[in-house]
Structure 1
Amino acid sequence: MPYGISTTQYFTALASFLAAGIAGSSIVFHMYKPLEGIEKQVEEEKEKLREEFTKYCEKKAGK
């Protein structure tokens, strides 16, 4: 135990530190959880853009 710090202060600080670490890891987990399945969404959007571009090119070629 560090010199000059009471037992109560020490354990309060330790508990705060551990709680902050747990909360921080939980926040990071929930931040990146929505990224699951993003590859599928990206492929769907690419396919939509390809279809729109193909339609656009067909219109331009027809004029």
Structure 2
Amino acid sequence: MSIIIDMLYREYCRARLAEMRKQLLISAASDGIQQVPPVDREPCDPDDLGSNGVGKEPPTVG
């Protein structure tokens, strides 16, 4: 009886590890899609943000 339980436990652990590896691969792939913010720029102050949330808008000419 204990041999059957040992075999079932090993199979459960193997399946669980495979599932965890799959989740890690999925999360790593989706992280690569997201854009990384530029490192060389200083963070903007909230007063410096334009309506697009990126930075000051260019002055309008005319």
Settle same-fold status: TM greater than 0.5. Answer: yes
TM normalised by structure 2 equals 0.56
Equivalent residue letter for 2:24: V
User: Which structure 1 residue ranges, 5 or more long, are not aligned?
Assistant: none
Identify the match of residue 33 of structure 1 among 21, 29, 43: 29
Identity of aligned residues (%): 4
Aligned to 2:16: 20
Q: 1:6-55 CA distances to partner (integer Å, 9 max, x unpaired)?
A: 1100000000001100100101110121122434x746xxxx724xx142
Segments ≥4 residues shifted beyond 2 Å: none
Structure with the greater alpha carbon radius of gyration: 1
TM-score by length of 1: 0.55
Unaligned runs of 5+ in 2: 39-51
What RMSD over aligned residues (CA atoms) do the two structures have, in Å?
2.7
* Count of residue pairs the alignment pairs up: 47
Q: Name whichever structure is richer in helix by fraction.
A: 1
Match of 2:2? 6
